[in-house]
Amino acid sequence: MPSIFRMRLLAVLLLLLTSTAAVLAQSVATAVPSTLRYANYNWEARRGRLPISAADAQLPAVILRQLIAHEYASDASHEKLELYTTDHRIIRVNSADAIEQFNKIYIPIQDGGQLLSLKARTISPRGEIVEVDQSSIKELQDDERRFKIFALEGVQKGSEIEYLYTRTRPFNFYGRDYLQSDIPARNVTFELISPETLVFDTRVYHGPKPAPDTLVEGKHLIRLQLDKVAPVREEAFANVQAEQMRIEYKLAYNQARGEERLFTWDDASQYLHSNIYSLTKDEGKAVDKLLKQLKVAASARPEAKIQAVEQYIKSNFNLDPAAEGDLTKVIATRNAPESAFTKLFAVVFRRLGLEHELVFTTGREEAPFDETFDTWNYLDHSLIYFPGTKQFMAPTRPDYRYGMVPAEWTANKGLFVRTVKEGKTERGTGKVRDIPTLTAAQSPNDLDITVRFSPEMDKATVDMRQTFGGYNAQAIQPFYSFIPEDKRTEAMQELVKSNVKDATIKSLKVINGEPGLSPLTKPFIVDATVESVALLDRAGPRYLFHIGELIGPQSELYQTTERQFDVENDFNRSYHRVIKFELPAGYQVRNAQDLNLNVQAGPDAKTPVYYFRSGSEQKGQLVTITIDEVYNQIRWPKKDFEAYRNIINAAANFNKVVLVLEKK
């Protein structure tokens, strides 16, 4: 959830929790309260090495013990409510790569949090114990977080690395923990502990349910115990992080205030609506002043108004996480945090009479939105939806334009919030709905190539137009104008050389490289003329034309192990490629049949969702090859993975096609 929303949420939480005798404050706890369940938790001072199976001893690394315990409790002074986390891990490292991975430990300390205790040690294969000197623990700061970092000396193959810490974390009543990684784990424990009046709800994804909530010594305890957790491995065309076992948790009830469920989607809708549309008198005046600067024609079509507002704000305001969210200061300084960008757009659209809805969602690459579990953890990203045009806009992303939002926010669900009038008042009401993604045709990556052989057949001149639209343009077009001019040329030359490896650039031109364009209507185009020697080889009286290389390098999927996950594409996409060349007089293509491929997948053979089709035709000495490769569905079941793999590999197979040109 945007930071300003989190801060304002604290005030709401205060009202909900006054009956728990815990009060929020800005100071940070400096001691572990003795009442915590894990207040006296410690490692075994002089323990032996943990037993390990012969199979685990052959793995690069294995986690032998993992404990994550979160407890909501009053601090030692009983003045405020804190979230305390105790984390204990023992990792056996059996390879040089594993030693490199684990011999430095990073402990993140979020803003408003503090590390209360930390110790670490290694146990060598001979049982020698070496503890980390506290003076060697350093602190680092990046743009968003602080870290405690320490190095472990003398780690050997077969060593155990052990560390244990307790920290406070920012006040929050919903959270997420991943319980699975690329390292196999044994003896994994997760616990969530809270005061008797505060009841949490949890949801585990890709794993078993936790034990039922129980009261232990006057505290709620939710516990998940796992003897073994299998590792996940990287997999092409899969959303690996979202497939990892994770647990979501949220405060569901405050029994001191009744049995009504807390933090529902309806609560979120009203809260977010109020925060975005509520203006102070000064903010209202500042917005009116901005509207005069915008000069949006009253007679303009709604879509034209939306685009004009977006272009002005995204071109004249800077995204600054440290800026204040008050719109008076935002408009005066032209600097705004993410939440203020959303607020500014929504308020301006409202003043212009443009019907819209607020939308909040999560990135499906991390955790797809689950409407059946109402954690506000899923309200990370804001969009604006326009029912009249059925289009979305990403207010907090200056690199996107109307009609496109980040692909990972699409093919997902979100909370749509609209305004409901009730007499002279209004409120927000919400509903979880789908956020559709773009079609394959809206994200093209097209090639139009003409090849001319020299009279001596010792080189080829290639005229090439590459067209990138939609998401295929997104990694280049918004940033192109900000690249120094000499680096632009270098980058575009490398792009061209991905299709013609030994290209000597004769001319190069970029079309639609200006800032603020939409790749849906103004695709990014690169025109180039190059010369190549490597495209053509001589083999006695024949010539070998490496035509397949002109489509550029292609992924090739080998599946030597069982597929773990369903296919999940980042976005739908299409590739339309046309290659033309003139055969020398008296020559013919010996193996033209190698150009003909037709591979497809989908429930309906007439309208497949994925396909690779290529073919050729010859008129006189002019040969034209047409290739269409389309991916028009985000997800595909792993049980039918072979069909998807065949499409990917069809492109890779075409990439290897070499035409034999011989005399008739």
Q: What is the mean pLDDT of each run of 10 residues along the chain (664 residues)?
A: 44 43 37 88 94 96 98 78 95 96 89 88 95 87 79 92 92 92 98 96 98 96 98 96 98 93 97 97 97 93 97 96 94 96 98 98 97 98 98 98 98 98 92 98 99 96 98 97 93 96 97 97 98 96 97 90 96 99 96 97 92 97 98 97 96 97 94
Contact assessment for residue 237 and residue 569, using Cβ atoms and an 8 Å cutoff: yes
Task: Look at domain 3-257 and name its CATH class.
Answer: mainly beta
pLDDT at 77: 67
pLDDT at 143: 65
In the chain, list all ranges with CATH 2.60.40.3140. 3-257
In the chain, list all ranges with CATH 3.10.620.30. 265-435
pLDDT at 9: 47
Helix, strand or coil for residue 581? strand
d(CA 139, CA 143): 14
**Residue 304 CB contacts under 8 Å (≥ 6 apart), including other chains:** 297
The pairing of strands 214-216 and 445-453 is unpaired
d(CA 415, CA 431): 6
- Check if CATH label 3.40.640.10 holds for domain 265-435: no
- Check if CATH label 2.60.40 holds for domain 440-557+567-663: yes
Quick one: CA torsion of 290, 293, 294, 299, rounded to 10 degrees? 110
Q: Taking Cα atoms as reference points, which of 495, 470, 477 lies closest to residue 574? A: 470
Strand order in the sheet with 425-435: 391-393, 381-386, 357-361, 412-422, 425-435
Q: Please say whether the dihedral angle defined by the alpha carbons of residues 212, 65, 41 and 83, taken in this order, is positive or negative.
A: negative
pTM for this one? Answer: 0.92
**Residue 553 CB contacts under 8 Å (≥ 6 apart), including other chains:** 498, 655
